[in-house]
Amino acid sequence: MSLRRHLSLCILSALLAGVPARAQQDTLRLTLGQAIALAVDYHLGLRSARLSQKLQEGSVAQEQARFGRTLTASLTNQSNRSPSISRLEGVQTSTSNSIGLGLGLSQDLATGGRFSLNFSNNRSSNNAAFNTIDPVYRSGLSLSFNQPLLQGRGWVNRIGLRVARNSLTASELVVQGQIQDLRAEVSRTYWDLSMAVQNLQLREQFLAAAQRVLETAKVRAAVGSDPASNILQAEVGVAQRQQDIVSAQASLRQAEDQLKTLLGLDQDPQRWQLPLQAIDTPAVAAFEGDPDSGLARTLAFNPSYRRAQLDLKSTELQIALARDQTRPSVALSTQVGLSGIGGSYSDDIKGLKAWDGRSWQGSVNLDFPLGENGAEIRLQQQLIQKEQRQVELERLRLQLAQQVRNQHRQVETSRQREEAARWTERLSVQNLDELEERLNLGLTTVRQVLDAQDDLAQARLSRLQALIDYNKALIEWRRLTGE
């Protein structure tokens, strides 16, 4: 189990441990920060992206391993038996036996070269009469070095590693982008749940207010101050508010299920049954953002834009590799060696140490294509792809700039809507208070009071919705600009 998942389990356990046993079975109370922490650790899509990141880490390690050392070893045993075809052998049946041991160490270099050190030892014997030494021990020690001089020389050999690292960074940005998107989605859903809870509470309050109006209508009809038809109007108002409560309860359950799914509670049937309670309440937070600084932060931190930049860098690396492939292949090969021979292993090694047998070899190999060169075609394709990447990067920059401007405008508009809705709610409260007093004095009708209640309910819901929309606009602004 990862450390983050362990911490999340601890958080969830602490939340459940902080309330009585009965409450543990009824409600799971979460702050917005706790809800985000659970979602980040349990969301399956995010876990899949993290596994993809680990796979890309393996690709980087694989590219790094290309420049590691390689140790080779071999052991051979060969035996031959055949009729003799030469009188010099002095035998009718020729037999031979050979045992060989080989050890080698090689190293691929970042320059494109390859260094190899090899040691071999062989023991051979046969029954030929002309052999003066039998068995014969032979040893050899060789050092070889191969280096390309044009194609494949230098830093181009590490292009694969640099591309793999860019891909790893891109996978990390995918995870980062999914975390930002998940945090924003959880925050929006959390406020939707808060909105649904407060909507239900408002509906219950107005049901109680409609019931008070119904009681007033019954009392005034009993004493003959108002007609009995007012009772029917009040009962209709009560029924409508009961219907509103049913709809509000359904909206609350839907918002609760959406948040549970984001938190990963659907992976555990027991936790899925726990009702959620949003502890935090929305507020009008200060906003001092501006489009210019917001765009600068967006271009610096936006995962999609940064991945596009990495794609462009990787394409430039591929262009360098394709351009290198268009060069002629010129390679330098050198080899020096020592050899020993003797009738015993010790004599063999003495000859090897004394440098009795020496050899060296040097060569330059040239490979130049004639006619149409496929490497040139690949280079042209990479250049076109680079231009395409540049166009896509610029298109994305303009798109992000437009999103930042629109979101900044949305935040300002939502704040103005919240201020206007708050003023409308205040006026609706005053209007309802006056009408209820007039109803008690018989100076207004039940219908007018019920309409005023509807107006106040709509004003409060509009003010609450404007407040939620303002917080959602801030969430999107922060997600977009990386705050």
Sketch the domain layout of the chain as residue ranges: 3-61+161-314+384-481, 69-108+113-151+330-367
Residue 447 token pair: 């219908």
- Contact yes or no for 49/175 (Cβ under 8 A): yes
Check residue 92 and report its DSSP letter. Answer: S
Question: Are 97 and 126 a contacting pair, CB within 8 Å?
Answer: yes
Helix axis angle, 446-481 relative to 159-222, nearest 10°? 170
Cβ neighbours, 10 Å, residue 8: 21
Helix, strand, coil share of the chain (percent; to 5):
65, 20, 15
With CA atoms as reference, report the closest residue to 431 among 411, 452, 448: 452
* Single-letter amino acid, residue 370: L
Q: How many residues does the chain have?
A: 483
- Give the up-direction half-sphere exposure of residue 442: CA atoms within 13 A in the CB hemisphere: 9
Tell me how far apart the alpha carbons of residues 282 and 190 are, in angstroms, rounded to a whole number.
Answer: 10
Report how far residue 340's alpha carbon sits from residue 137's, in angstroms, rounded to the nearest whole number.
Answer: 8
Is the separation of the CB atoms in 172 and 353 below 8 Å? no
Rounded to 5 degrees, φ, ψ at 97 are -145, 140
pTM beyond cutoff 0.75:
no
Secondary structure (H, E, C), 377-432: HHHHHHHHHHHHHHHHHHHHHHHHHHHHHHHHHHHHHHHHHHHHHHHHHHHHHHHH
Which CATH architecture describes the domain 3-61+161-314+384-481? Up-down Bundle (1.20)
Q: pLDDT tens, position by position, for the chain (483 residues)?
A: 444 444 444 444 444 444 333 334 567 888 999 999 988 888 888 888 888 888 888 888 888 877 778 889 999 998 888 776 666 666 677 777 889 999 999 988 888 888 899 998 888 888 766 667 778 888 888 999 998 888 888 888 888 888 888 888 888 888 888 889 899 999 999 999 988 988 898 888 888 888 887 888 788 778 777 677 778 888 888 898 899 899 999 999 999 999 988 888 888 888 888 888 888 888 887 888 788 888 999 998 888 999 999 999 999 999 988 888 888 888 889 999 888 887 777 777 777 787 778 888 888 888 877 766 778 888 899 899 999 999 999 999 999 999 999 999 999 998 899 889 889 888 888 888 888 788 777 777 777 877 787 788 888 888 888 888 999 999 999 988 887
Q: How many angstroms separate the CA atoms of 382 and 317, rounded? A: 10
Closest by Cα among 115, 109, 116, 105 to 66: 109
Q: How many CB atoms lie within 10 A of CB 279?
A: 12
Q: Which of 265, 244, 263 is nearest to 189 (CA)?
A: 263
